[in-house]
Copies of this chain bind each other. A is one copy, B any other.
Amino acid sequence: MLEQLKEKVFQANLDLPKHGLVKHTWGNASAIDRETGLFVIKPSGVDYETMKAEDMVVVDLNGNTVEEKLKPSSDTATHAALYRRYPEIGGIAHTHSTWATIWAQAGLDVPAMGTTHADTFYGSVPCARQLTKEEVDRGYEKETGNLIIETFEERGLDIMAVPGILIHGHAPFTWGKDAAAAVLNSLVLDEVSKMNLFTRELNHFAKELPKHILDKHYLRKHGAEAYYGQK
């Protein structure tokens, strides 16, 4: 079932190590079929080199496996929470990519310091707080999903205009209209994390991008007036 979606999710998962975003088995990507309300995700702890498209696992929005084969990613409950809350999200990626994880470990939002950032993220990428002991005991992965939702709601952020977040002490999650977009947003987040770290090393007083340039770059790629690409 969902063979085409499995193939797309499989390719998106392979793109994670290909782009240097994932070492070993530290990452996963998923995508949802909104008609059936089922999503497809990487199996847990399976090696990228031997994994096949048919190993992808079909899961419902409660995170329960629908087909009996491999166990889904241990982060499945986080993906499920986001798909339930945000109907706009079509795909999700989770990595421990080096530079985004560094900002997550530092507990800092990634500010919009250049147009590379503004082309994808309309403002700072937030860093969510760490889960409490009570939340971890209640259900680590599900509560991570709830924490992402809480962070976007408290800050009043548009989930598709800022398609990613860092979890303090952990690593990034990104999303998009499908699995490929989610993976691409992981790539962008890692690259701007690297650039911004060294920008501030080079000039401790380097400023965030002024609003009129942030607007220009985000809006020339996104929204009604977009003119980037072949559309």
Contact = CB atoms under 8 A, between A and B. Distances in A.
A: interface residue count bin: 35 or more
A115 interface: yes
Nearest to A19: B23
Contacts of A19: 23
Copies per complex of this chain: 4
B202 A102 contact: yes
Contact of A43 (B96, B101, B220, B230): B230
A155 interface: no
A168 to B, nearest CB: 9
Contact of A74 (B203, B213, B227): B227
Interface in A151-169: 169
A196 B102 CA distance: 7
Contacts of A149: none
B197 A202 contact: yes
A198 B136 contact: no
